[in-house]
Structure 1
Protein backbone atom coordinates (compact mmCIF):
# COMPACT_ATOMS: atom_id res chain seq x y z
CA UNK A 1 0.00 0.00 0.00
CA UNK A 2 1.22 3.48 -0.79
CA UNK A 3 1.71 6.21 1.75
CA UNK A 4 -0.96 8.89 1.84
CA UNK A 5 1.50 11.51 3.04
CA UNK A 6 2.73 14.33 0.90
CA UNK A 7 5.75 12.23 -0.10
CA UNK A 8 5.74 10.80 -3.62
CA UNK A 9 4.36 7.26 -3.81
CA UNK A 10 7.07 4.60 -3.55
CA UNK A 11 9.81 7.22 -3.90
CA UNK A 12 8.85 7.95 -7.52
CA UNK A 13 9.41 11.58 -8.30
CA UNK A 14 7.49 13.01 -11.25
CA UNK A 15 9.36 14.65 -14.08
CA UNK A 16 8.65 18.33 -14.73
CA UNK A 17 6.31 17.34 -17.56
CA UNK A 18 4.47 14.81 -15.40
CA UNK A 19 4.21 17.32 -12.56
CA UNK A 20 2.68 19.92 -14.88
CA UNK A 21 0.26 17.33 -16.35
CA UNK A 22 -0.93 16.39 -12.86
CA UNK A 23 -1.44 20.05 -11.93
CA UNK A 24 -3.29 20.73 -15.19
CA UNK A 25 -5.61 17.80 -14.47
CA UNK A 26 -6.18 19.01 -10.90
CA UNK A 27 -7.16 22.47 -12.12
CA UNK A 28 -10.15 20.86 -13.88
CA UNK A 29 -11.59 19.66 -10.55
CA UNK A 30 -10.81 22.59 -8.27
CA UNK A 31 -13.75 23.32 -6.01
CA UNK A 32 -14.52 27.01 -6.42
CA UNK A 33 -14.89 28.84 -3.14
CA UNK A 34 -14.01 25.76 -1.08
CA UNK A 35 -11.16 27.54 0.68
CA UNK A 36 -8.43 25.67 2.45
CA UNK A 37 -5.30 24.25 0.90
CA UNK A 38 -5.12 23.64 -2.84
CA UNK A 39 -6.29 20.30 -4.18
CA UNK A 40 -3.44 17.86 -4.82
CA UNK A 41 -3.37 14.30 -6.02
CA UNK A 42 -2.24 13.20 -2.57
CA UNK A 43 -5.03 15.19 -0.89
CA UNK A 44 -7.64 13.50 -3.10
CA UNK A 45 -6.28 10.09 -2.13
CA UNK A 46 -6.21 11.13 1.54
CA UNK A 47 -9.82 12.35 1.40
CA UNK A 48 -10.98 9.16 -0.34
CA UNK A 49 -9.16 6.98 2.19
CA UNK A 50 -10.53 8.98 5.16
CA UNK A 51 -14.09 8.76 3.82
CA UNK A 52 -13.76 5.01 3.32
CA UNK A 53 -12.47 4.63 6.90
CA UNK A 54 -15.51 6.59 8.12
CA UNK A 55 -17.88 4.40 6.08
CA UNK A 56 -16.17 1.24 7.38
CA UNK A 57 -16.65 2.41 10.99
CA UNK A 58 -20.27 3.53 10.46
CA UNK A 59 -21.34 6.56 8.47
CA UNK A 60 -23.17 9.03 10.70
CA UNK A 61 -24.23 11.69 8.23
CA UNK A 62 -27.10 11.88 5.75
CA UNK A 63 -27.40 10.67 2.16
CA UNK A 64 -26.85 14.21 0.77
CA UNK A 65 -23.71 14.52 2.91
CA UNK A 66 -22.40 11.22 1.57
CA UNK A 67 -23.05 12.41 -1.98
CA UNK A 68 -21.06 15.55 -1.17
CA UNK A 69 -18.26 13.58 0.51
CA UNK A 70 -17.94 11.35 -2.55
CA UNK A 71 -16.71 14.38 -4.51
CA UNK A 72 -13.11 13.26 -3.89
CA UNK A 73 -13.67 9.91 -5.66
CA UNK A 74 -15.49 11.58 -8.53
CA UNK A 75 -12.60 14.05 -8.85
CA UNK A 76 -10.12 11.16 -9.02
CA UNK A 77 -12.19 9.55 -11.78
CA UNK A 78 -12.36 12.80 -13.68
CA UNK A 79 -8.61 13.49 -13.62
CA UNK A 80 -7.42 9.89 -13.98
CA UNK A 81 -7.42 9.80 -17.82
CA UNK A 82 -5.35 13.02 -17.87
CA UNK A 83 -2.67 11.74 -15.52
CA UNK A 84 0.60 10.61 -17.07
CA UNK A 85 0.75 6.81 -17.54
CA UNK A 86 3.65 6.43 -15.09
CA UNK A 87 1.73 8.30 -12.37
CA UNK A 88 -1.33 6.12 -13.04
CA UNK A 89 0.81 2.99 -12.79
CA UNK A 90 2.34 4.08 -9.49
CA UNK A 91 -1.00 5.02 -7.90
CA UNK A 92 -3.30 2.35 -9.46
CA UNK A 93 -2.89 -0.28 -6.72
CA UNK A 94 -3.57 2.30 -4.01
CA UNK A 95 -6.76 3.46 -5.74
CA UNK A 96 -7.87 -0.12 -6.35
CA UNK A 97 -7.35 -1.00 -2.67
CA UNK A 98 -9.34 1.98 -1.38
CA UNK A 99 -12.08 1.25 -3.93
CA UNK A 100 -12.16 -2.40 -2.81
CA UNK A 101 -12.56 -1.33 0.82
CA UNK A 102 -15.40 1.05 -0.08
CA UNK A 103 -17.11 -1.67 -2.09
CA UNK A 104 -16.85 -4.06 0.89
CA UNK A 105 -18.17 -1.44 3.34
CA UNK A 106 -21.20 -0.60 1.17
CA UNK A 107 -24.17 -2.26 -0.50
CA UNK A 108 -25.18 -1.64 -4.10
CA UNK A 109 -28.48 0.08 -4.68
CA UNK A 110 -31.05 -2.42 -5.99
CA UNK A 111 -31.28 -2.52 -9.77
CA UNK A 112 -28.12 -0.48 -10.32
CA UNK A 113 -25.22 -1.67 -12.48
CA UNK A 114 -22.14 -1.78 -10.27
CA UNK A 115 -19.86 -2.15 -13.29
CA UNK A 116 -20.87 1.13 -14.92
CA UNK A 117 -18.92 4.33 -14.39
CA UNK A 118 -19.25 6.29 -11.13
CA UNK A 119 -20.31 3.11 -9.33
CA UNK A 120 -19.43 4.66 -5.93
CA UNK A 121 -22.44 6.98 -6.25
CA UNK A 122 -24.82 4.00 -6.35
CA UNK A 123 -23.81 2.39 -3.06
CA UNK A 124 -25.06 2.74 0.52
CA UNK A 125 -22.94 2.21 3.66
CA UNK A 126 -23.51 -1.17 5.33
CA UNK A 127 -23.44 0.51 8.74
CA UNK A 128 -25.36 3.73 9.30
CA UNK A 129 -24.89 5.54 12.60
CA UNK A 130 -28.19 7.13 13.62
CA UNK A 131 -28.54 9.95 16.14
CA UNK A 132 -32.16 9.06 16.78
CA UNK A 133 -34.26 5.91 16.64
CA UNK A 134 -36.78 7.65 14.36
CA UNK A 135 -37.04 5.98 10.95
CA UNK A 136 -38.39 6.98 7.57
CA UNK A 137 -41.23 5.13 5.85
CA UNK A 138 -38.59 2.92 4.19
CA UNK A 139 -36.96 2.07 7.56
CA UNK A 140 -33.90 4.27 7.13
CA UNK A 141 -32.51 6.81 9.59
CA UNK A 142 -33.64 10.38 9.11
CA UNK A 143 -31.62 12.06 6.37
CA UNK A 144 -31.74 9.03 4.09
CA UNK A 145 -35.30 9.61 2.85
CA UNK A 146 -34.26 10.80 -0.61
CA UNK A 147 -33.21 7.27 -1.60
CA UNK A 148 -36.04 5.77 -3.64
CA UNK A 149 -35.62 2.12 -2.66
CA UNK A 150 -36.33 0.15 0.53
CA UNK A 151 -33.44 -0.33 2.93
CA UNK A 152 -31.36 -3.34 1.81
CA UNK A 153 -31.28 -6.12 4.40
CA UNK A 154 -27.46 -5.89 4.48
CA UNK A 155 -27.62 -2.32 5.83
CA UNK A 156 -27.38 -2.22 9.61
CA UNK A 157 -28.50 0.82 11.58
CA UNK A 158 -26.64 1.50 14.83
CA UNK A 159 -28.50 3.80 17.24
Structure 2
Protein backbone atom coordinates (compact mmCIF):
# COMPACT_ATOMS: atom_id res chain seq x y z
CA UNK A 1 0.00 0.00 0.00
CA UNK A 2 1.39 3.40 -0.92
CA UNK A 3 2.13 5.73 1.96
CA UNK A 4 0.92 9.32 1.96
CA UNK A 5 1.65 12.30 4.17
CA UNK A 6 -1.98 12.40 5.22
CA UNK A 7 -2.26 12.10 9.03
CA UNK A 8 -4.87 9.37 8.62
CA UNK A 9 -2.04 7.14 7.32
CA UNK A 10 0.39 7.49 10.25
CA UNK A 11 -0.72 4.43 12.21
CA UNK A 12 -0.05 1.04 10.61
CA UNK A 13 -3.10 -1.00 9.74
CA UNK A 14 -4.17 -3.49 12.35
CA UNK A 15 -4.40 -7.21 11.70
CA UNK A 16 -8.18 -6.84 11.77
CA UNK A 17 -8.06 -4.10 9.12
CA UNK A 18 -5.84 -6.23 6.90
CA UNK A 19 -8.19 -9.17 7.28
CA UNK A 20 -11.17 -6.92 6.48
CA UNK A 21 -9.40 -5.73 3.32
CA UNK A 22 -8.67 -9.30 2.23
CA UNK A 23 -12.26 -10.36 2.93
CA UNK A 24 -13.69 -7.36 1.03
CA UNK A 25 -11.50 -8.01 -2.01
CA UNK A 26 -12.23 -11.75 -1.95
CA UNK A 27 -15.96 -11.05 -1.81
CA UNK A 28 -15.79 -8.44 -4.57
CA UNK A 29 -13.33 -10.15 -6.89
CA UNK A 30 -14.46 -13.70 -6.25
CA UNK A 31 -10.93 -14.75 -5.42
CA UNK A 32 -8.87 -14.87 -2.28
CA UNK A 33 -5.73 -14.62 -4.45
CA UNK A 34 -6.50 -11.05 -5.54
CA UNK A 35 -5.38 -8.09 -3.44
CA UNK A 36 -6.46 -4.50 -3.19
CA UNK A 37 -3.08 -3.51 -4.59
CA UNK A 38 -3.53 -5.81 -7.60
CA UNK A 39 -6.97 -4.33 -8.33
CA UNK A 40 -5.50 -0.84 -8.20
CA UNK A 41 -2.58 -1.91 -10.41
CA UNK A 42 -4.97 -3.43 -12.96
CA UNK A 43 -7.14 -0.29 -12.95
CA UNK A 44 -4.03 1.85 -13.45
CA UNK A 45 -3.00 -0.34 -16.41
CA UNK A 46 -6.45 0.05 -18.01
CA UNK A 47 -6.35 3.82 -17.50
CA UNK A 48 -2.90 4.01 -19.10
CA UNK A 49 -4.03 1.85 -22.05
CA UNK A 50 -7.01 4.14 -22.60
CA UNK A 51 -4.85 7.28 -22.32
CA UNK A 52 -2.43 5.92 -24.95
CA UNK A 53 -5.21 4.89 -27.35
CA UNK A 54 -7.14 1.69 -26.75
CA UNK A 55 -6.05 -1.00 -29.20
CA UNK A 56 -8.46 -3.84 -28.43
CA UNK A 57 -12.13 -4.36 -29.29
CA UNK A 58 -15.20 -3.33 -27.30
CA UNK A 59 -15.73 -6.77 -25.69
CA UNK A 60 -12.10 -6.71 -24.49
CA UNK A 61 -12.63 -3.18 -23.15
CA UNK A 62 -15.67 -4.45 -21.29
CA UNK A 63 -13.58 -7.30 -19.87
CA UNK A 64 -10.76 -4.93 -18.87
CA UNK A 65 -13.23 -2.91 -16.78
CA UNK A 66 -13.80 -5.91 -14.47
CA UNK A 67 -11.02 -4.69 -12.17
CA UNK A 68 -12.89 -1.40 -11.65
CA UNK A 69 -16.11 -3.37 -11.08
CA UNK A 70 -14.32 -5.32 -8.32
CA UNK A 71 -12.98 -2.09 -6.79
CA UNK A 72 -16.51 -0.68 -6.84
CA UNK A 73 -17.91 -3.75 -5.08
CA UNK A 74 -15.07 -3.92 -2.54
CA UNK A 75 -15.02 -0.20 -1.72
CA UNK A 76 -18.00 -0.07 0.67
CA UNK A 77 -16.76 -3.23 2.41
CA UNK A 78 -13.31 -1.80 3.17
CA UNK A 79 -12.51 -0.38 6.59
CA UNK A 80 -13.10 3.40 6.65
CA UNK A 81 -9.44 4.13 7.31
CA UNK A 82 -8.36 2.10 4.29
CA UNK A 83 -10.87 3.97 2.12
CA UNK A 84 -9.50 7.27 3.44
CA UNK A 85 -5.93 6.21 2.67
CA UNK A 86 -6.69 4.92 -0.83
CA UNK A 87 -9.34 7.50 -1.84
CA UNK A 88 -6.84 9.98 -3.40
CA UNK A 89 -5.37 7.24 -5.58
CA UNK A 90 -8.79 6.04 -6.73
CA UNK A 91 -9.97 9.59 -7.41
CA UNK A 92 -6.83 10.31 -9.45
CA UNK A 93 -7.21 7.18 -11.59
CA UNK A 94 -10.94 7.76 -12.07
CA UNK A 95 -10.26 11.37 -13.09
CA UNK A 96 -7.67 10.27 -15.63
CA UNK A 97 -10.10 7.68 -17.03
CA UNK A 98 -12.84 10.30 -17.34
CA UNK A 99 -10.42 12.66 -19.11
CA UNK A 100 -9.43 9.95 -21.62
CA UNK A 101 -13.01 8.86 -22.39
CA UNK A 102 -16.38 10.25 -23.43
CA UNK A 103 -19.77 9.23 -22.04
CA UNK A 104 -22.15 7.08 -24.02
CA UNK A 105 -24.32 9.35 -26.15
CA UNK A 106 -27.65 10.20 -24.56
CA UNK A 107 -26.93 8.38 -21.30
CA UNK A 108 -26.66 10.44 -18.12
CA UNK A 109 -23.69 9.54 -15.95
CA UNK A 110 -24.79 7.51 -12.96
CA UNK A 111 -22.75 7.01 -9.80
CA UNK A 112 -23.11 3.21 -10.00
CA UNK A 113 -20.62 1.74 -12.49
CA UNK A 114 -20.23 5.03 -14.37
CA UNK A 115 -17.02 3.64 -15.95
CA UNK A 116 -19.08 1.06 -17.86
CA UNK A 117 -20.74 3.81 -19.89
CA UNK A 118 -17.68 5.58 -21.24
CA UNK A 119 -15.73 5.13 -24.47
CA UNK A 120 -12.03 5.79 -25.10
CA UNK A 121 -11.34 9.06 -26.91
CA UNK A 122 -8.77 7.28 -29.09
CA UNK A 123 -9.42 3.81 -30.48
CA UNK A 124 -6.70 2.13 -32.49
CA UNK A 125 -7.68 0.07 -35.52
CA UNK A 126 -5.98 -1.88 -38.28
CA UNK A 127 -5.70 0.16 -41.47
CA UNK A 128 -7.94 -0.65 -44.40
CA UNK A 129 -10.66 -2.60 -42.60
CA UNK A 130 -14.37 -1.67 -42.78
CA UNK A 131 -15.82 0.74 -40.24
CA UNK A 132 -19.49 -0.05 -39.61
CA UNK A 133 -21.18 2.98 -38.03
CA UNK A 134 -17.79 4.70 -38.05
CA UNK A 135 -16.40 2.16 -35.58
CA UNK A 136 -13.43 -0.10 -36.22
CA UNK A 137 -14.24 -3.81 -36.27
CA UNK A 138 -15.00 -5.06 -32.79
CA UNK A 139 -16.61 -1.77 -31.73
CA UNK A 140 -19.68 -1.94 -33.96
CA UNK A 141 -21.37 -3.97 -31.20
CA UNK A 142 -22.06 -0.73 -29.34
CA UNK A 143 -25.70 0.38 -29.70
CA UNK A 144 -24.87 3.77 -31.30
CA UNK A 145 -22.68 5.22 -34.05
CA UNK A 146 -19.19 6.39 -33.17
CA UNK A 147 -19.44 9.71 -31.32
CA UNK A 148 -17.77 12.66 -33.06
CA UNK A 149 -15.37 13.06 -30.10
CA UNK A 150 -13.93 9.56 -30.57
CA UNK A 151 -10.93 9.36 -32.90
CA UNK A 152 -9.96 6.18 -34.72
CA UNK A 153 -6.22 5.95 -35.28
CA UNK A 154 -4.96 3.43 -37.80
CA UNK A 155 -2.04 1.15 -37.15
CA UNK A 156 -0.43 -1.39 -39.43
CA UNK A 157 0.09 0.90 -42.40
CA UNK A 158 3.09 -0.09 -44.52
Query: What's 1:24 paired with?
Result: 23
Structure 2 runs not aligned, ≥5 long: none
The 3 A distance-change label for structure 1 pair 74 and 45 is: same
SS in structure 1 of the partner of residue 28 of structure 2: coil
Q: Which one of the candidate residues 50, 61, 69 is aligned to 1:66?
A: 61
Whose Rg is larger?
A: 2
Q: Using the alignment, how far apart are the partners of 2:112 and 2:152 within structure 1?
A: 28
Structure with greater helix percent: 2
Kept after mapping to 1: 8 A contact 2:26/2:33: no
Kept after mapping to 1: 8 A contact 2:57/2:139: yes
The Cα shift of 1:8 comes to 4.3
Aligned length: 149
- Runs of 4+ off more than 4 Å: none
Q: Aligned ranges for residues 42-121 of structure 1 at < 5 Å?
A: 42-121=37-116
TM-score of the aligned structures, taking structure 1 as reference length: 0.88
> Cα RMSD between the aligned structures?
1.7
The Cα shift of 1:26 comes to 1.2
Structure 1 runs not aligned, ≥5 long: 1-6
TM-score of the aligned structures, taking structure 2 as reference length: 0.88
Query: What's 2:144 paired with?
Result: 149
